[in-house]
């Protein structure tokens, strides 16, 4: 699939303040870049057409220290209202662009093992879909990274508070295709698990 014909917009959710971390989580070192920089790099290398980074807390500092590589920053000034609010803010922006996107791929900045190959697997599965949500399979649920077809844009744009994309996935189980991440779904919540993950995987 040609990259420019994928009609998928990646939304990297990086607006939170990471209250359980002693520093700005998005800027923690990962390889030759940062957690956020790593997410941007993989998204830009994927078959998605456009990449957007949703910022909120510490937006100025994060923006000044992150090489976007052509990604677009979206600054949500109401980020304190929760993840759902930030998703809604970003999807409303997508809906108002001139590009007729067929889907949005929601991903987080704090899952550093999510790589280009996995993002492309989600996109390819969506391209060949029989259903209109392609989500990552966890032990007892499905979640992000996930691709949502255009018919779910209004629902995503209506999210509020901390009610994120998981609620839309849970409420539309008959339209979900789940994909195994093979252990790549590990996220960074605390300094301790960041240290352990970095020691094990970061090069």
Q: Which helix (H) or strand (E) holds 42?
A: helix 35-45
Can you give the residue range of the structural domain that contains 20? Answer: 3-201
* CATH, residue 95: 3.90.550.10
Alpha-carbon distances of 115 from 22, 74, 98, 153, rounded to whole Å: 26, 22, 28, 25
Q: What is the pLDDT along the chain (203 residues), one digit of tens a residue?
A: 445 457 999 999 999 998 889 899 999 999 999 999 999 999 999 999 999 999 999 999 999 999 888 899 999 999 999 999 999 999 999 999 999 999 999 999 999 999 999 999 999 999 998 889 999 999 989 999 999 999 999 999 999 988 889 889 999 999 999 999 999 999 999 999 999 999 998 66
pTM for the full predicted model: 0.95
Q: Tell me which H or E stretch contains 105.
A: strand 103-108
Number of domains the chain is built from: 1
């Amino acid at each position: 699939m040609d990259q420019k014909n994928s009609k998928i917009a990646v939304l990297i959710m990086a607006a939170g303040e990471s209250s359980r971390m002693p520093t700005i989580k998005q800027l923690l070192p990962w390889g030759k870049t940062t957690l956020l920089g790593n997410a941007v790099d993989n998204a830009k290398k994927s078959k998605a057409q456009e990449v957007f980074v949703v910022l909120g807390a510490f937006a100025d500092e994060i923006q000044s220290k992150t090489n976007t590589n052509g990604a677009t920053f979206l600054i949500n000034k109401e980020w304190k209202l929760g993840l759902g609010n930030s998703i809604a803010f970003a999807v409303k922006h997508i809906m108002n662009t001139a590009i007729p996107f067929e889907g949005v791929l929601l991903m987080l900045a704090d899952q550093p093992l999510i790589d280009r190959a996995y993002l492309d697997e989600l996109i390819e599965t969506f391209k060949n879909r029989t259903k209109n949500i392609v989500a990552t399979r966890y032990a007892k649920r499905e979640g992000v990274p996930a691709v949502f077809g255009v018919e779910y844009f209004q629902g995503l744009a209506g999210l509020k508070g901390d009610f994120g994309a998981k609620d839309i996935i849970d409420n539309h189980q008959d339209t979900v295709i789940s994909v195994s991440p093979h252990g790549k779904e590990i996220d960074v919540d605390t300094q301790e698990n960041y240290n352990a993950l970095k020691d094990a995987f970061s090069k």
